[in-house]
Structure 1
Amino acid sequence: MELEVAIIKTKEELTALRPFYVENALWGTEKFPKTYGYLGFVPEDGFYLKMICEESNPLRTYTNANDPVYKDSAMEAFLMFEPPSGRGAKENYLSLEANANGALLAAYGEMRTYRTYLTGDEHRAFECKAQIEENQWSIDLRIPIWILEKIYGPLDLGEGSYFTCNFYKISETAEIEHYASYSPILTSIPSFHLPEFFAEAEIVNIAR
C-alpha cells in the first residue's frame, strides 16, 4: 500500500487532497469510528497532517504534553525517514499521538520502550490543535523539517523522496477499547510500534 504525499504551498490546501483511510480493524476490534486524514508537504517547511474521526463526545481525559493519550480516544501518526547512511541504518521512527483536547504525545526511537520524548520548543513546533464538533473531532499537526533533521541528520526531501508511515485510531480504555490502522499490521501481538508494517509514501507533485 503506497501513499502519495502531495507537494502543497500552504496547509490550507490540505483538505483538497485525496484522503487516506484508517480502515484495518486489529486484534479483535469489531467496531471503531470512521477515521481518515490528509497529509501534504510544503518544501523547506515540513509536513502538514489533518486527521478526522467521526465520533461524538470522544473520551478526552488528558490535557498535558506527553500524557498517555492512547488511553483516551486518540489518533496517531508514525513516520520513519532515511538518515544519510540509508536503509541499512536502525529503524528510528517518530510517533505522534493526540486526543481531542489537543494533548500531544511526541517521541522517537527504535522501539516501543526507551523512546526520546520531545519537549519545550520542539514539542510546541508541532502546533497540535484539536477541534470538536457535534459528530466528529479532528487534529491538525505540523511536522517541521528541522525536527526531522534533528532526529535523522540532513534529509533531501522533495519530489520523488520516499519515507514510510502508518496512521492509527486507538483507545486502550476497556469500555471503548479499539485498534485500527491505515496499513495492515500482520501480527497477533497488539502493537503499533512495528515499522516493518509501515506503508511506503512518496512525495509527488500534482500541480503539473
Structure 2
Amino acid sequence: MNVKILKDKEELNTVAPFEITHLLWGTSSIPRTCFYIGFVPGDGFYVRMVCEEKDPRRTYQSYLDPVYQDSAMEAFLLFPQKEDASGTYLNFEINANGALLAGYGPSRTYRSFFSREEAEQFQARAVIEEDRWSALFHLPLSALERVYGPMKLEKGSTFYCNFYKISESKDIEHYAAYAPITSPVPSFHMPEYFAEAVLV
C-alpha cells in the first residue's frame, strides 16, 4: 500500500481510503469500514478510520480499557529500524467513545503500554454521526522514536501495518482485516500478516 506524504494534517481529507474487507474466523459480514493514513514530515502519522455502523456498542470510557469488547477499530504498525526493535509493533485500538488502548511490543503477550501522559499526544477521539462513526489519532515522531530510537522517514521508506474491525463480545462478535490473515487462531497480533506500506 502507498501512504501519501502530506503537507499538513488537513491534507488527510484528500487521500484515497483503504477498505477493510477480509472477514475472519467465521465472520459473515461487517459494516463498511475504511481508513485513511498519511505522513507529515517532521510531525508524524495521521489516521482516520470510518465505520458505517449505527449506534455502535461503546461501553468503555477510559484509556487502556478493553475496547475490543465494544465495537472497535484498530491500527497495528511496525517500523523496522534498529535490530533490537525489529519485531516491535504498535497497536492502537479505539471505540466510539474515543477510549484508546495503545501499546507496543514484539508479541501479543509481551506488551508495554504508553503512559496516560504519553497517550494524550495521540489526540485520540471519536465522532458519532447518524449512520456512521469515525476514530482519529495522531502518531507523533516523538512517540515512534521513544520505541524505535532515531528514525529517518522519507519518500520510499517502508513500514508494515494492518487495520481491523473487531468485537470480542459474543453477541456481536466479528473480526475483519485490511490485509488477509490465514491463521486458524483468532489473533490480530500477527505481524507476519501485516501489509507492506511505502511512503510516496
Q: Is this a same-fold pair by TM over 0.5?
A: yes
CA gap of 1:89–1:102, structure 2 versus 1, over 3 A, is closer
How far the C-alpha of 1:8 sits from its partner, in A, is: 0.7
**Corresponding position of 1:148:** 144
TM-score, normalization by structure 2? 0.98
Counting only pairs closer than 5 Å after superposition, residues 22-101 of structure 1 correspond to structure 2 as: 22-85=20-83, 90-101=86-97
Bigger mean CA deviation after superposition, 134-143 or 5-14: 5-14
Q: Say whether 1:185 aligns with 2:181.
A: yes
Cα distance in 2, alignment partners of residues 121 and 83 from structure 1: 25
TM-score, normalization by structure 1? 0.94
Give aligned-pair identity as a percent: 54
Cα distance in 1, alignment partners of residues 87 and 78 from structure 2: 7
Cα distance in 2, alignment partners of residues 37 and 115 from structure 1: 24
Q: Say whether 1:170 aligns with 2:143.
A: no
Pick aligned residue for 1:127 from 108, 114, 123: 123
CA RMSD, 1 decimal: 1.0
Deviations 1:141-167 (A, max 9, x none): 100011011001111101110000000
Cα distance in 2, alignment partners of residues 173 and 111 from structure 1: 23
Aligned length: 200
Which runs of 5 or more residues in structure 2 are unaligned?
none
Cα distance in 1, alignment partners of residues 29 and 80 from structure 2: 35
Pick aligned residue for 1:16 from 14, 17, 26: 14
Cα distance in 2, alignment partners of residues 91 and 76 from structure 1: 19
